[in-house]
Structure 1
Amino acid sequence: MEQPWPPSTSVALGLLVAVVLVAGAGSLALSAAGPDDPRVGTTPAKLVEPRPGENVFWPYTSTRRSASGRTLAINLVVYADAETVRYFLTERGGATWNETTAEWQDVGPTTAGESAAAAGANGTVVEWAAARGATRYLYVHNYVLTEPGPNETRRPYRAAPYTGHGERNVGGRWIDETYQLHDGNYFGARDHLRIYESPFESDEWVAVQAHSDHWDWFRLRHTVHATDATRDRLEREFMGEPSVETVWRMYLGNRRALGSDGWATVVDFVGLLGAGGIGSGLAAVGLVAGRDATALVRRRTATAGNRPSPREFDRSLRASAGPVGAAKRAVVSGLLARGWLDREDALLVVRGLSYALLFAALFGCYLSVRFGGIALENRFADISPKVIAAGLYPVLALGLPAVAHVFGRDLDPVRSFSVAALGVGAAIVVDYRALGVTVLSLDVVLHRVGVVVAIGLLAAGAVSRRSSTETVNPLVAAGTLLWVTLLVAPLVGWL
């Protein structure tokens, strides 16, 4: 007979759930508050000069036409026009970058509850939103209408910025990206570029925001996990090309953004010709299950008192309902019919296989969402990403708790919790390793710890130890509450 859940373990798990919820709430509250930003408003206070004597820009992107929406740092400046950059990255020999069409530019339902301060404070989220999430703005200001500041920066004066409403003012304006490029999978990990061309015709520079991001199935949007690594990759691509004269670095002092060291790579093309001249020049250059079962068969308990009696054995098999229980009974019947095992050894085999199936089912269910999304994206390139996400998200939201409950039935609750938590935890680690993600924010780490605990509780609560009149298992109730909280929090912008 399975041992009941020890009271001390129940108390410890209850405290663990409380700690996860309280710590997560505290982390999210701090993220939402963010550091004080003296530049909140419509006009950024610090502007950088990408090329001597040409118009200046704010070295960050923003979720809105205001410095209060600061997100990621500008980390690449190219002395050329946007079409030259597009040609070099997408058309030269061996190019792997692709232009991101409007359908795949992080469009989707707006997370209405998301705090603007949170997005501006940590810059970790690329929203999946058509209204304001897909666009990141860059502020560009007339060089003449600025004054020198410390550390070779400029400060705007005499003119208010142009915000897109009312009469145009030549002092400064917020612009959205000219186009986007990517290399990688939308539902996996990718390198992502936002290219901004100066709105002033006299300027001959293009600002680029380069970062690496991955699709987060709990948040239903992309999360940025690196910026400097993507900049370094672009730097290597430009180096050694016959059409590129020099590659060097300029300090922009924008270290307040996620992952930024404050430096931007500067690329100077040969001759600084127009789009046609450089494009022509580039074209001319030609740019273990069986083994585990055997070990279990050979295993013997130290004393006969630990062996299940025939009555307990039969009762355990009858209690296993559904397809999983039917499979267990079929395995035992086959082993007994061939005379390979006695009833006690057969039960040990079934129990061992039950824990292995619980681990494998949760591990496979979690990873099937990731790799299923990538496979569908590559197979159906013309379909909207919202369709793929809508089809696979229920597998994560409903499939994981269902698998934990079905495969955790009639198992020891302590072991069931441990195996289920290990299965989901291993899947999370493998998922991030496959994506190449090595850095996560504290709120994401706490969220994933909560996922492991919730699934473990649901698996442990699948054991029916009470009378049939009691319909609510406290472990299932705690696991369900925690799971629903962990699903809702990212969708409403708490994560």
Structure 2
Amino acid sequence: MAYSWPLSPKVTLVAAILVVLLAGAATMVEPGSPGATAERGQAPTKLVEPKPGENVFWPYTSRSRSASGRTLAINVVVYGDTATIRDYLTRGRDPGWNKTGADEQDIDAGEGPITEGNATNGTLVEWSAATGSTRYLYVHDRTLTEDRADEVTRRPYRAVSYTGPLGREAAGAWIEETDQLHDGTYLGARHHIRLYESPYESDNWVAIQAHSEHWDWFRLRHTVHGTEAAQNRVEAQFMGEPFADGVWRLYLDNGGGSGSDGWATIVDLVGDSGGSGPGPMALGITGLVLGTAVRRRHRRRDRSRADTTQPLLSDTPLSRWLRSSDRLSPGPVDRLVRGLSYLLLFAVLLGLYLGVRFSGVALERAFPAADPKFIAALLYPVLAFGLPGAAYLAGRNLDPVRSFAAAATGTGTAFVLDYQYLAVTTLPLNVVLHRLGLAVALGAVAAGAVTRDTTTKTVNRIIGAGILLWVYLLVAALVGWL
């Protein structure tokens, strides 16, 4: 039977162009951009007092100037100013925080004097460039609020709660983050904090949202996987330091989502300095370009030697050499070749996916001035086209059922090892199902990868279904259907 590609060339070309265009767009634009103005009726109504006698805020961040865009809970409040906090975090005893800015220009780490508080560690951190999408915080004039009815106040364990604007929306303001800091890599995993300094001059507090996130290669954006670890990291950096007059927890009643329990870390800095801010690729893609091309066979198999009840053997130079060797008989050689072929299929998918992750992190560290989104745009086609291409080439001439199992388990193992490397312990159900679908898609591609002279319509439908499922899941992740 003549071989026919399951998808027409036009359909295949359109699908490939669609994936590339969506990938490029996703690397240049972060989703969830804030709106220009607040939606009417969407101003928050649940406000808390971060410091006695000072103005209040909504204890969540938002991706837009509206309560409907609520994202993560505020989990740290520092009594001080942003410049001093940044100075302590980047020059303290654990100076791992780097400035996170919207542009990609380096900032001078040596600006400003070293004070008593940050002299505990003389090693300066080189401020590196990274990006972080804008999130808003709602701040409200305390004099235009009312105490919440039946609210029990138990300082210092519980924050005072207030009702919201009560129709006086002009009394509140959505503010952008004053600064962003991160510790980790953009294309790997990192702790990320956003600092919001009160716009009222009489106030002396900075609200902080701290979370842990990782780069999702299929969504081409960061995914938050927790808040507790980042909050504990910030808290530990101030605990026991001479520049911190006290560190305790205050209940803001904003628990739920991303591991937040409603308790915020409160840090009271000593005084108010009001000073200015401070003033070899380790891994590569190894073993990913493999010599898996198989010569087309134009001669019939010798029926006197062939056992038609056995799966088709790989026609590779290695297998032909082994069959001609006097050291092994044909039976053990065939079984050895088949076993190595399935192992190769498993390993190439495992290595290709992890190679993209490690190469992205290595390139980011080797070229700190480069936009990490540009690195992601270069590596994404390796992921989008390399994985199904490797599954097809490495799965040729193998038993469909066994090749499906090898490809699917290799892909699934890569996902598990990747999340272990990123220290991600919990995942949403939709992400788990998406990754299982990707493993099934590559398994189907490998199962349908047979030689042209043995292809059947059934196998054509299998590989066609695998390709369609792969493209659909890629597009679904890029456009935010997850």
Contact kept in structure 2, 1:136 and 1:177, CA below 8 Å: yes
Contact kept in structure 2, 1:252 and 1:262, CA below 8 Å: yes
- Using structure 1 for the length normalisation, give the TM-score: 0.73
How many angstroms apart in 2 are the aligned matches of 1:172 and 1:351?
69
How many angstroms apart in 2 are the aligned matches of 1:404 and 1:278?
52
Contact kept in structure 2, 1:89 and 1:97, CA below 8 Å: yes
Q: Partner of 2:54: helix, strand, or coil? A: coil
Structure 2 residue aligned with 1:435 = 422
Q: 1:412 to 1:155 in 2, by over 3 A?
A: same
Q: Partner of 2:247: helix, strand, or coil? A: strand
Q: 1:339 to 1:225 in 2, by over 3 A?
A: same
Counterpart residue identity of residue 168, structure 2? A
Structure 1 residue aligned with 2:331 = 344
Q: 1:336 to 1:454 in 2, by over 3 A?
A: closer
Q: Report % sequence identity.
A: 57
Contact kept in structure 2, 1:41 and 1:67, CA below 8 Å: no
How many angstroms apart in 2 are the aligned matches of 1:236 and 1:377?
28
Counterpart residue identity of residue 70, structure 1? R
Contact kept in structure 2, 1:159 and 1:172, CA below 8 Å: no
Structure 1 residue aligned with 2:120 = none
Structure 1 residue aligned with 2:260 = 260
Contact kept in structure 1, 2:83 and 2:277, CA below 8 Å: no
Can you list the C-alpha shifts for 1:137-196, whole angstroms capped at 9, x where unaligned? 0000011111101343111346633xxxxxxx4x11000001110000110110000000
How many angstroms apart in 2 are the aligned matches of 1:451 and 1:486?
7
How many angstroms apart in 2 are the aligned matches of 1:450 and 1:191?
29
How many angstroms apart in 2 are the aligned matches of 1:218 and 1:417?
22
Counterpart residue identity of residue 420, structure 1? A
Q: Which runs of 5+ in 2 are unaligned?
A: 1-38, 106-130, 153-159, 280-302
How many angstroms apart in 2 are the aligned matches of 1:356 and 1:463?
17
Q: 1:277 to 1:488 in 2, by over 3 A?
A: closer
Contact kept in structure 1, 2:448 and 2:463, CA below 8 Å: yes
- Are 1:359 and 2:367 matched, yes or no? no
How many angstroms apart in 2 are the aligned matches of 1:101 and 1:340?
64
How many angstroms apart in 2 are the aligned matches of 1:330 and 1:414?
23
User: What is the RMSD computed on CA atoms of the aligned residues?
Assistant: 2.7
- Are 1:311 and 2:319 matched, yes or no? no
Contact kept in structure 2, 1:100 and 1:181, CA below 8 Å: yes
Contact kept in structure 1, 2:251 and 2:262, CA below 8 Å: yes
- Are 1:403 and 2:390 matched, yes or no? yes
- Are 1:329 and 2:304 matched, yes or no? no
Counterpart residue identity of residue 274, structure 2? A
Contact kept in structure 2, 1:78 and 1:207, CA below 8 Å: yes
Which of 374, 392, 410 aligns to 2:379? It is: 392
Counterpart residue identity of residue 475, structure 2? V
Structure 2 residue aligned with 1:108 = none
1:41 Cα deviation (Å)?
Answer: 3.5
Q: 1:41 to 1:392 in 2, by over 3 A?
A: farther
Alignment of 1:24-39 (within 5 A): none
Counterpart residue identity of residue 486, structure 1? L
Structure 1 residue aligned with 2:207 = 207
Can you list the C-alpha shifts for 1:340-392, whole angstroms capped at 9, x where unaligned? 11222222221111011101101001111111110110011111122111111
Alignment of 1:55-454 (within 5 A): 55-103=55-103, 134-149=133-148, 150-151=151-152, 152-157=160-165, 160-161=168-169, 169=170, 171-270=171-270, 272-276=271-275, 310-312=305-307, 320=314, 325=315, 328-333=316-321, 335-336=322-323, 338-454=325-441
Per residue, is there more helix in 1 or in 2?
1
How many angstroms apart in 2 are the aligned matches of 1:371 and 1:389?
12
How many angstroms apart in 1 are the aligned matches of 2:304 and 2:82?
78
Counterpart residue identity of residue 236, structure 1? A
Contact kept in structure 2, 1:408 and 1:460, CA below 8 Å: yes
Q: Partner of 1:311: helix, strand, or coil? A: coil
Q: 1:104 to 1:312 in 2, by over 3 A?
A: farther
Structure 2 residue aligned with 1:300 = none
How many angstroms apart in 2 are the aligned matches of 1:102 and 1:365?
31
Counterpart residue identity of residue 317, structure 2? R
Q: 1:104 to 1:231 in 2, by over 3 A?
A: farther
Can you list the C-alpha shifts for 1:283-329, whole angstroms capped at 9, x where unaligned? xxxxxxxxxxxxxxxxxxxxxxxxx973359x988x85xxxx5xx32
Q: Partner of 2:146: helix, strand, or coil? A: strand
Can you list the C-alpha shifts for 1:220-277, whole angstroms capped at 9, x where unaligned? 000000102211121111111011111001100111332210000000012x323239
Q: 1:278 to 1:90 in 2, by over 3 A?
A: closer
Contact kept in structure 2, 1:41 and 1:68, CA below 8 Å: no
Can you list the C-alpha shifts for 1:447-484, whole angstroms capped at 9, x where unaligned? 01101111111111113587668597011111112111
1:332 Cα deviation (Å)?
Answer: 3.5
Contact kept in structure 1, 2:311 and 2:398, CA below 8 Å: no
Contact kept in structure 2, 1:48 and 1:252, CA below 8 Å: yes
Contact kept in structure 2, 1:147 and 1:157, CA below 8 Å: no
- Are 1:475 and 2:458 matched, yes or no? no
Q: Partner of 1:484: helix, strand, or coil? A: helix
Contact kept in structure 2, 1:332 and 1:347, CA below 8 Å: no
1:42 Cα deviation (Å)?
Answer: 3.2
Contact kept in structure 1, 2:104 and 2:369, CA below 8 Å: no
Q: 1:254 to 1:345 in 2, by over 3 A?
A: same
How many angstroms apart in 1 are the aligned matches of 2:276 and 2:469?
60
Contact kept in structure 1, 2:86 and 2:277, CA below 8 Å: no
Counterpart residue identity of residue 310, structure 1? R
Q: 1:418 to 1:471 in 2, by over 3 A?
A: closer
Counterpart residue identity of residue 227, structure 1? T
Counterpart residue identity of residue 250, structure 1? L
Q: Partner of 1:200: helix, strand, or coil? A: coil
1:40 Cα deviation (Å)?
Answer: 8.7
Can you list the C-alpha shifts for 1:78-126, whole angstroms capped at 9, x where unaligned? 0000011000001234411110132469xxxxxxxxxxxxxxxxxxxxx
Q: Which runs of 5+ in 1 are unaligned?
A: 1-38, 106-129, 162-168, 281-307
Counterpart residue identity of residue 485, structure 1? Y
